[in-house]
A and B are shown apart, each in its own frame.
Chain A
Amino acid sequence: MSNEMISDAANEAVDNMLDFDDDPLSATGVSRKSLVIFFLIDTSGSMKGKKMGELNTVMEELIPEIRKVGEADTEVKVAVLTFSTDVRWMYSTPISIEDFEWARLRANGVTSMGAAFKELSLRMSRNSFLNSPSLSFAPVIFLMTDGYPSDDYREGLRELQSNSWYKFGLKAALGIGNEANDDVLAEFTGTPDTVVHAYSGGQLAQMIKIIAVTSSQIGSKSMTLSDDTGREIGEEDVFAAKQKLLGQQIQELVGKNVEESDVPFDTGW
C-alpha cells in the first residue's frame, strides 16, 4: 500500500468521526413506552344533573393525579369517547397527559353503546389512535354508564372483541345508579372483578378515581411476572396477569371505600 492510500484511509476514518453529532453527552431522552387510556363515557339524557356535574368535576381533578403515574418510564395519553344518540371523541387524537385539559361534557339523548364499541374498535389500531412508533403497553379502557344500551351493544362488542388491542387491554367499567346493568358491563370487561357500581355522588367520585388511577398505574408499568421460583414459568402463567391484578386491587380498594351515608343517585331527583 502506498503512503497516499494509507493517508486516504486515515482521512476517511477521520471523516467518519465527524459525519454525525459525536458529542457523548448530547442524548435525547431514553425512548419511553406509551400507554393510551380510553374513557368511554355515557352522556345520554339520564346522566343530566348531579351525575354529570360530579363526573365533570372528578375528571378535572383526576388529570393531575394520572400525570404523576406515568412520568418516569411511560408517556401516558388520554382519549375520551362519549356516547349518547351519537358517538363523539373529545379530541381528534389521544392527548399527552401533560397537555390534556378536560372539556366539560353535557348530557342529552339515548345510549348508543354498541356504536361506541364499534367506533372504539375502529380507532384502536396502529393506523389510527395507536400509532406511536415506540413500544406501547396494552391500552386501558374504562367504560362509564348509567343505563341499559338503547342499541344492539352485542354486535358492537363482537366487533371490539376481535380487536387485538382490546384483547390485551386492561378493561374496567363503572355502573352509575340503579339502571346500569352490571352483567352488560361484565360482558364488556370479560370479568366481573373489574366492574364496580356507584349509587351516590360521593361514590361516583371515589370509584372513578380508584379505577382510573389503579388501571393507569398497572397499565403503565411492566409487571414482575414471577413471584415463585424453582419452576420455569410459561405464557399461560402470565396470561392476563395485569387484568387479574387490576381486578384484585379494585375489589380491595372498593371494599374499603364504600360510604353508606351518601344520598343515592336514584332518589330525590
Chain B
Amino acid sequence: MVELEIGQEVEMEFGGRAQVLSVIGSGGQGTVYLVKFNGMKWALKWYDIDKMKNPKAFRKNLESNINDGPPSNKFLWPKYLTKEMPDGTFGYIMELKPEGFDSFVDILNTYKLEIDALTGQAVKKTVRFTSLTAMITAVINIVNAFRQLHRSGKSYQDLNDGGFFINVNTGAVLVCDCDNIAPEGSNFGIGGKPGYMAPEIVRGIAQPNVQTDKYSLAVVLFKLLFRGDPMEGEKVVRDVCLTEASELKHYGQNAVFVYDPNDASNRPVRGIHDNVIKFWRIYPEYVKDAFIRSFTIGISEPSKRIIENEWQKLFIRLRSEIIMCGCGRTNFTSMFAQPTEKSFKCPKCGMEFSTLGFSNRESRMPLFLGCKFYECEINPESDDFSTVAGELVENKLKTGMLGIKNCSDKTWKAKMPDGAFYDITPGKGFPIWQGLEIDFGAIKAQM
C-alpha cells in the first residue's frame, strides 16, 4: 500500500490540501492519520486499495454517504473525499474524536494504556463508567444510533467493539468507522469482526445486512453489560487452541449461547468467565430473556432477532429501575427486596423506597432523591429519552420535604392531600404523599 509520509500533502476532491501530521492508528482497511486542513485538525483515513475488491464502487458509496449526511449527530461521519492518486489510492477526512470519550475496547478491558513519549513505558489508566445511569444511557444511545441508521435504509455491516467511543460520565456515544455503511442490500467487501459477525456470515451463506447488524448489536450490548463473550463457554475453552476450524464451529456452524436454557454444554467457566456469571445474577429476567432470544432462536432465524425499538424500550425501563440508595448501594430493583407490591427495600441498610406507577406500563419506578423520568416516559408520542421531564428534589425552602419538579414544558395536574387537582406549570413542583396522582395528559401516574 502507499503509505503517507509525515508532512506530505494530499489533495482534497473539492480543492485544498490536507497536510499529514502524524499516524493515529491502522486497521484492516488502511491507516488513519492526523491531518491539518483549512486551518483545522481532522482525521484522514487512507485506504490500502490493494485489499479492496472494488475500490471504485467503495469510493462511490462513500461519496453518496457523504452527500446523504449522518443519520444523527451520534456519528463521526465521512466529511470530504481526497482526490485519487495516480494509482487510484484515496481516503476521506472526518472530524476528530472529541475529548472525554473512551473507546469501547478500553471500557471492556477496564483500562487504557498511555505510552510515556520519553521512556516508551506503557502506563495503565482505569476506564469505567462513573454511574450505573451513565452505563445504561450509553446502551440506550447505542441502540438508538442503530435504529436511526437502519431507518435511513442503511446497514453498518462491521459492527464491533472498535466502532464506538463512549463518555463514561454521561453515557454519550459516538459511532465511528462509518465507511462501510451501505444501503440495505449492498456490500462493498467487508465481512465483519470475528466474535461479532452473525453466524450466517461466518458460515459463508449471507452478506452483512440489517439482520446481521442486529445480531452484532446484541453481541455489543451483551459485552457491555455482561463483560464477556456470549458464545465463549466451556465448549470453546475445551479446545486445545482457537484454530480457524474451531472458530468456524463455535461462532458459525455450532454457536451455543452460554446461558441457552435448553443446552447446558457451553456454560461460562468459573475463573475465566467470572464477569458473565456474576452479572447474569444481577440483571432482571426481561433483560436476560431478550439476550436468550437473540442468541438461541435468533441464531438460526434472523427475523426473530430483537429489533432496535424493542431494545430501546427495554433499556429505558431498566434505567427507570435503578435505585441509588442512601447507603451508597446502587443497583436495579431486581436486586432489592420487595416488602409490598409498591415498595422496595435495600437489603443492605433496610431503607425503603416508595414507587410511582405509570398508566402505560406495569413496572413501577422507585423514588429516591435525584431520580429522574424522561419525556418519552410521560408522552406516548415522544421518542426523546434524554430530555429530563421530572426529577425528585428536596424543597429549597422546606428542608426535608421531597417533591417532584416539573422540568418539562407542559403543565401537569397533581392531586394534593386535600383531594383536589392543581395545575403544575413548568418549573414548579409538588410534594410526594401516599395518595399522589399525576396527570401528564395522555399518561397518568400514581403513588
Whether a CB of chain B sits under 8 angstroms from the CB of A131 is: no
Interface size on A, as a range, is 35 or more
Q: Given A24-B331, A230-B205: A225 and B110 within 8 A (CB)?
A: no
A224 touches B191 (CB 8 A): yes
Whether a CB of chain B sits under 8 angstroms from the CB of A8 is: no
Q: Given A72-B105, A231-B205: A225 and B248 within 8 A (CB)?
A: yes
Closest B residue to A240 by beta carbon equals: B244
Closest A residue to B206 by beta carbon equals: A229
Which A residues are CB-close (under 8 A) to B275?
27-28, 30-31
- State which residues 335-383 of B face A: CB under 8 Å: 335-337, 339, 347-348
Which A residues are CB-close (under 8 A) to B252?
225
B335 touches A233 (CB 8 A): no
Whether a CB of chain A sits under 8 angstroms from the CB of B163 is: no
B244 partner, pick from A33, A133, A225, beta carbons under 8 A = A225
B245 touches A235 (CB 8 A): yes
Q: Given A27-B227, A28-B275, A224-B192: A238 and B245 within 8 A (CB)?
A: yes
CA distance A235 to B243 in the complex (A): 10
Which B residues are CB-close (under 8 A) to A222?
193-195, 242, 247
**Max chain B Cβ within 10 angstroms of own Cβ: one of A13, A24, A137, A240:** A24
Whether a CB of chain B sits under 8 angstroms from the CB of A154 is: no
Whether a CB of chain B sits under 8 angstroms from the CB of A57 is: no
Whether a CB of chain B sits under 8 angstroms from the CB of A1 is: no
Closest A residue to B113 by beta carbon equals: A71
Main secondary structure of the interface of A (DSSP, over half): loop
A168 partner, pick from B161, B243, B336, B347, beta carbons under 8 A = B243
Q: Given A18-B347, A25-B132, A72-B109: A136 and B241 within 8 A (CB)?
A: yes
A98 partner, pick from B122, B243, B273, B347, beta carbons under 8 A = B122
CA distance A23 to B274 in the complex (A): 13
Q: Given A17-B337, A17-B347, A222-B195: A25 and B229 within 8 A (CB)?
A: no
CA distance A180 to B294 in the complex (A): 55
Contact with A along B168-205 (1 / 0, CB 8 A): 00000000000000000000010111110100011111
Whether a CB of chain A sits under 8 angstroms from the CB of B228 is: yes
B193 touches A13 (CB 8 A): no
Closest B residue to A222 by beta carbon equals: B194
Give, as a whole number of angstroms, the nearest-CB distance from B240 to chain A: 5
B111 touches A239 (CB 8 A): no
Give, as a whole number of angstroms, the nearest-CB distance from B278 to chain A: 6
- State which residues 15-46 of A face B: CB under 8 Å: 15, 17-18, 20-25, 27-33
Which B residues are CB-close (under 8 A) to A33?
242
Whether a CB of chain A sits under 8 angstroms from the CB of B21 is: no
Whether a CB of chain A sits under 8 angstroms from the CB of B120 is: yes
Whether a CB of chain B sits under 8 angstroms from the CB of A5 is: no
CA distance A236 to B277 in the complex (A): 35
Give, as a whole number of angstroms, the nearest-CB distance from B214 to chain A: 18
Give, as a whole number of angstroms, the nearest-CB distance from A32 to chain B: 8
B240 touches A28 (CB 8 A): no
Whether a CB of chain B sits under 8 angstroms from the CB of A134 is: yes
Q: Given A28-B227, A133-B272, A233-B204: A239 and B240 within 8 A (CB)?
A: no
Which A residues are CB-close (under 8 A) to B191?
224, 226-227
CA distance A168 to B248 in the complex (A): 15
**Max chain B Cβ within 10 angstroms of own Cβ: one of A29, A64, A231:** A29
- Besides A223-B244, A225-B244, A235-B249, 5 more A-B contacts (Cβ < 8 Å) are A27-B279, A30-B109, A30-B275, A72-B105, A226-B201
A28 touches B245 (CB 8 A): no
Whether a CB of chain A sits under 8 angstroms from the CB of B317 is: no
A25 touches B135 (CB 8 A): yes
Which B residues are CB-close (under 8 A) to A235?
245, 248-249
Closest B residue to A229 by beta carbon equals: B207
**Max chain B Cβ within 10 angstroms of own Cβ: one of A17, A18, A137, A233:** A17
